[in-house]
Structure 1
Amino acid sequence: MVEFARYYINFIRDFFANIGKFFKALFEAFADLLFNGVVEFFQKFSAASGSFTLLDWVMAFVVLVINLAFLVFVVLKLWQLITKYIKFSKKEFEKEELLEEITFLNTKTIELIDEKNKILALQIQKLGGAAADESGKPISYDRENKKEEYLGPSRFVKLIQVDKEYDNTVTAIHMKDEDMINLRELVSRFINFSASKLGLFYDRKIISAFFAGMATSKTMILEGISGTGKTSLPYAMGKFFSHDSSIIAVQPSWRDRAEMIGYLNEFTKKFNETDFLKSIYEATYRDDICIVVLDEMNLARVEYYFAELLSLLEMPDPDAWLIDIVPDNQPGDPKNFKNGKILLPQNVWFIGTANKDDSTFTITDKVYDRATPIEINAKAAYIDAPQTDGVTFSYDYLNDLFRVANKDNALSLKALENLEKLDQFITKNMKVTFGNRIMKQIRAFVPVYVACGGSEYEGLDYMVARKIFRKFESLNLPFLQNEINDLSALLDRLFGKNAFVECQAYLSNIKKQF
């Protein structure tokens, strides 16, 4: 053990001696470089310069300047590196201090929020609301039992403004005697109103199809070439019914319902409300006709952002038309919310306008099958209409007109039999079938179309061309030339020669492609 101790002591002594020699050699090297070497350099230079010529002196001067510049450059770079390191260290130190301060502030914020929630829970208890749990947070908030209006900030700024606008406002519709007209008169009055007041001219067939479409579905698609008045038609309808239509410009970036309805910002705890949501919410206060226009609806994929509403509107019970907005109700939420949901009013129609060009998406069968398409491909002729005022219509009155039309103008037995034969032919030869949904829409559309002044076969022609024949676009038509010719002949045989003008025109366009 003594020998090992002696060895280890010598080892430590030699180790530190070597470290000392290292630093001594390093110091001597710097001394030689900065002091001894400089003196030796000048001595050698002095000895050699005795035999310098003029050219040698010039070269010596140039080299000396270059060496000095290099030395200055090295010193400056070292200085920059040192200062950067010092600044970096200082920033890191300040950053750590800032993070500590942020952590402290977050802790204080959480404590203040907890204290605020406890105070709010006590206030709710005093107002007759729900009890608070052990942590002091309210378990729930019952709007029906509240005794005072919540005066704090709301996460729904626009919708709360709607509540204020309709507060203590009578929204019931009191119709005048001159406004209690039938559907045929309604079509004529709109055409005259649009021409005399707005300078917009529409064909009677288009307007009849529009009202019949309203009776058929809550969703309609106005399509056709640009500049034919697709957007102006629902705009004029809003003016006619004394309640301006809400025109929502669809953006190409819309990918889901959040783009259309809005979303809750988890950071600010505010709901990013859209004009679409505001229009729907405002309709919950009204009893008249409310029209929401989705302008250029196929700039984005309709089945992406509108899928939820399409599914909701398919439900037979209107009480199930609930749109999820937020997970639950909170103090300060809009009055007409039900557990964070809005009940979609029945007096709302969604009218989409669509162009067919390279900048738009194709509207899929899922959307077409649930909506009523109306094509506007030509401008109507000028109408010298008398000055005509709009109407004050309640939703209930318009719905009664639709109900009476369905009762008085139900599809004839012959028309149903011919439709069945047409369905059998198309199913067998084209592998396309009507389906219960389309048949239900035809039964709703045609009677109202007849009540608006059209004929039964005109209404059938309109719906068959747009709801059934449109599906032929997905078929390999060049291989179905004989079937197309047979279908054209079948239409003449079942419904009369040239009775189905729209369908025959569609088939003629297909034949031109052969």
Structure 2
Amino acid sequence: MVKFMIKTLFTRKNFIAIALSVMYSVLLVFVCACIDGAHNFFPKKNTVNIIAQGMRFEEIAGGTAGFIMVMFAAVFVSLAAVAICFERQFAIFKKESPASGKMFAWYFGTAAVAIIVSLVLGILMQRPLTGENIGKAMKYLWQVILLTTVIYIMMVVVIGAPVMLIVNFFFVDKPFRFFSKEDEPVFDDDNVSLDVTGSFDGQTTANQVGSGVAATSALPATSPDGSDGASSPMGGKTVAEDTGMKDREEVFPSLTGIDETYEGFELPLGKSDELSLKKLADKFRLYLAKVHGLYFDTDTIRFFISGFAASHFEILEGLSGTGKSSLPRYFAEFIGAKVLFMPVQATWRDKTSILGFYNEFSKTYTETEFLSSVYEANYAPDTLNFYVLDEMNISRVEYYFADLLSVLEYPVPDWKIKIMSVPHDFIPPMKLTDGYLQIPENCYFVGTANRDDSTFTITDKVYDRAITLEFTKRNDPFEVTEETEKVNLTASGLKNLFTAAELDGKNALNKSDVDKLDELSDFIYDKFDIAIGNRILNQTEKIVPVFIAAGGTKEDALDLMLSKKLFSKIEGRFEDYVKPALEETLDLISKLYGKGKLFRSEKVINKIIKTL
């Protein structure tokens, strides 16, 4: 943590503050040498001493002791500036406001300590150490500080005014970023004229995004040739070539605001509470029951948690009112994570519905809350983030979530999604490299889905990439007598729990388990032409040991995976061979695992048989 704080001390704002304090300290020593009554350094008629005489200062010969006293004051001015900058960074690290009353108390306290220590050391250097001599030294120091402050202010005015004039002259067309983004004024004094009469084709519709995601404009996010939103539909030119792209503060106000908040530095790893996966699952189940009156069976909680070890995307589907949306919400609350709910709209058609798009008229990027949240997650890599797509199948998942589904298949460093094409001369936000947004490993996605006439069918492509839990009934209440408290779980802490479970050899799939899976998989492939691919096998190998570490059994973990990943794909087939083949499948399951061991899979198969 100390190394991190030292690293984050080196920011532009801090360097400016420290440099100004050092300049003041140097000027303090210089003024001391100029007005010293002994005139050992400069002649009596120097400019600074003339100003002192004009201010009716008493001529005091400070001597060596007076000079050392001023030196102490100069050194502690600079040290106080460094300490205050450090405290400011510490407030950011602790996610507190650097401008809060508490922090200002710290700043004033630091300055007071610096003043007191410098005075004590300076007084101790006086010889003889008498009241008269100390009073004389204090008056000498006061005169030096007062004159230094006057000259310092004059220098700031005399030098700063021309610099401000020159800078503002060269940047006269650029925005003035003094105001905060919430209350930044808009000045309508520019003679701007836009001809937009030819830009509407009458066929564009507005994509409205509900709670949590910004509304998508009626303007197309992509050009007619299918290129990204940074390309102009007029002649195939980029935005920068057409009319010139604005500064990043205007194009990406939210993302650059996040850059300013963290000043370009990632927060260090935090510390999780000491707990096992079993304890995590058990405590969360009791927390839901006692605090929120939600009751789930133990395997559902275990599978919900262990599912994130196999995939960063889970689907919770089933009956309405069974707690699908509440589960991720309260899990985030329980472990101290962040959660963002995004009610899916029927009009969502592509990734711009959740990631935003570049508006070619305003020359700004329409940022969504989801985009800002994922971007900020890159600065806090140890904070867990959950993104809930509520009623995700009210629109086709493949339309708006396809890009994310694809990148989550890659190695973590390649979890990058294209936001827009960035011109070569445009400096994007710090975490938007070449127009790509990094999806950090601390982000997890949960989709809730209902099965009714108002929703679309979720395809196998989506199911295969996700871990799916089905909610078919409301569970009976149970009494909780134990104390239930929230826990602190970081992204690295959760990953370490998953890794430790996967490395535990006794929980992993052994050769006998793999052989049984192969036999069952080959049988299903021969009968139904449905195979267990490498993706599903990899997910199974990850989820089984984690599920066991959470207190479950190997058979239950395999049952949950097979019922959703394999047997559910047989639904909708009505050929003559299907029923006898399913009956043979039940016999094979009983032979390999024992009757009733994979009861979920048997239930799915029997349900299909009833429809035939």
Q: Same fold (TM over 0.5)?
A: yes
Aligned to 2:543: 445
Q: Distance in 2 between matches of 1:211 and 1:461?
A: 16
Q: Does 1:230 align with 2:324?
A: yes
Aligned to 2:351: 257
Select the residue among 430, 439, 446 that pairs with 1:335. 430
Cα offset, 1:154, TM superposition = 2.1
Aligned to 1:407: 503
Q: Does 1:163 align with 2:256?
A: no
Aligned to 2:124: none
Q: Does 1:172 align with 2:268?
A: yes
Per-residue CA shift, 1:173-207, capped at 9, x if unaligned?
A: 4325xx21111111011112222333322221111
Which amino acid in the other structure matches residue 250 of structure 1?
V
Q: Does 1:196 align with 2:290?
A: yes
Q: Does 1:398 align with 2:490?
A: no
Which amino acid in the other structure matches residue 223 of structure 1?
E
Per-residue CA shift, 1:189-230, capped at 9, x if unaligned?
A: 111222233332222111111112100101110000111000
Select the residue among 369, 381, 393 that pairs with 2:476. 381
2:338 and 2:383 in contact (8 A); partners too: no
2:248 and 2:429 in contact (8 A); partners too: no
Which amino acid in the other structure matches residue 414 of structure 2?
A
Q: Distance in 2 between matches of 1:151 and 1:278?
A: 18
Q: Does 1:349 align with 2:444?
A: yes
Over alpha carbons, which structure has the higher Rg? 1
Q: Per the alignment, do residues 105 and 484 of structure 1 end up closer, same or farther by CA in structure 2, a change over 3 Å counting?
A: closer
SS in 1 for 2:314: strand
Cα offset, 1:478, TM superposition = 5.1
Per-residue CA shift, 1:365-384, capped at 9, x if unaligned?
A: 11011111111122232233
2:249 and 2:256 in contact (8 A); partners too: no
Q: Distance in 2 between matches of 1:491 and 1:223?
A: 26
Which amino acid in the other structure matches residue 397 of structure 2?
V
Q: Distance in 1 between matches of 2:448 and 2:576?
A: 31
Aligned to 1:484: 582
Per-residue CA shift, 1:63-108, capped at 9, x if unaligned?
A: xxxxxxxxxxxxxxxxxxxxxxxxxxxxxxxxxxxxxxxx99679x
Q: Tell me whether 445-454 or 324-333 shows the greater mean CA deviation.
A: 324-333
Cα offset, 1:391, TM superposition = 1.7
Cα offset, 1:313, TM superposition = 0.8
Select the residue among 367, 373, 386 that pairs with 1:291. 386
Q: Does 1:454 align with 2:552?
A: yes
1:237 and 1:245 in contact (8 A); partners too: no
Task: Calculate the aligned-residue CA RMSD, in Å.
Answer: 2.4
Q: TM-score, normalization: structure 2?
A: 0.57
Q: Tell me whether 459-468 or 286-295 shows the greater mean CA deviation.
A: 286-295
Q: Per the alignment, do residues 472 and 193 of structure 1 end up closer, same or farther by CA in structure 2, a change over 3 Å counting?
A: same
Q: Distance in 2 between matches of 1:104 and 1:337?
A: 30
Q: Distance in 2 between matches of 1:322 and 1:230?
A: 29
Cα offset, 1:327, TM superposition = 1.3
Q: TM-score, normalization: structure 1?
A: 0.68
Q: Distance in 2 between matches of 1:284 and 1:200?
A: 33
Q: Per the alignment, do residues 501 and 394 of structure 1 end up closer, same or farther by CA in structure 2, a change over 3 Å counting?
A: same
Select the residue among 291, 300, 303 that pairs with 2:398. 303
1:154 and 1:333 in contact (8 A); partners too: no
Which amino acid in the other structure matches residue 351 of structure 1?
V
Which amino acid in the other structure matches residue 449 of structure 1?
F
Which amino acid in the other structure matches residue 264 of structure 1?
Y
Q: Identity rate of aligned residues, in percent? A: 36
How is 1:36-115 mapped onto 2 (pairs within 5 angstroms)? none
Q: Per the alignment, do residues 171 and 241 of structure 1 end up closer, same or farther by CA in structure 2, a change over 3 Å counting?
A: farther
Aligned to 1:181: 275
SS in 1 for 2:446: strand
Q: Distance in 2 between matches of 1:308 and 1:104?
A: 38
2:332 and 2:339 in contact (8 A); partners too: yes
Q: Per the alignment, do residues 478 and 228 of structure 1 end up closer, same or farther by CA in structure 2, a change over 3 Å counting?
A: farther
Q: Distance in 2 between matches of 1:208 and 1:171?
A: 30
Q: Per the alignment, do residues 499 and 312 of structure 1 end up closer, same or farther by CA in structure 2, a change over 3 Å counting?
A: same
Q: Per the alignment, do residues 476 and 415 of structure 1 end up closer, same or farther by CA in structure 2, a change over 3 Å counting?
A: same
Q: Distance in 2 between matches of 1:104 and 1:268?
A: 12
2:248 and 2:428 in contact (8 A); partners too: no
Q: Mind listing any 5+ residue stretches in structure 2 that lack a counterpart?
A: 1-190, 196-239
More helix by share: 1
Cα offset, 1:165, TM superposition = 4.2
Select the residue among 601, 605, 610 that pairs with 1:503. 601
Which amino acid in the other structure matches residue 478 of structure 2?
I
Q: Per the alignment, do residues 358 and 313 of structure 1 end up closer, same or farther by CA in structure 2, a change over 3 Å counting?
A: same
Q: Distance in 1 between matches of 2:294 and 2:280?
A: 16
Q: Mind listing any 5+ residue stretches in structure 1 that lack a counterpart?
A: 1-102, 108-137, 140-149
SS in 2 for 1:245: strand
1:281 and 1:342 in contact (8 A); partners too: yes
Cα offset, 1:339, TM superposition = 1.6
Cα offset, 1:166, TM superposition = 3.9
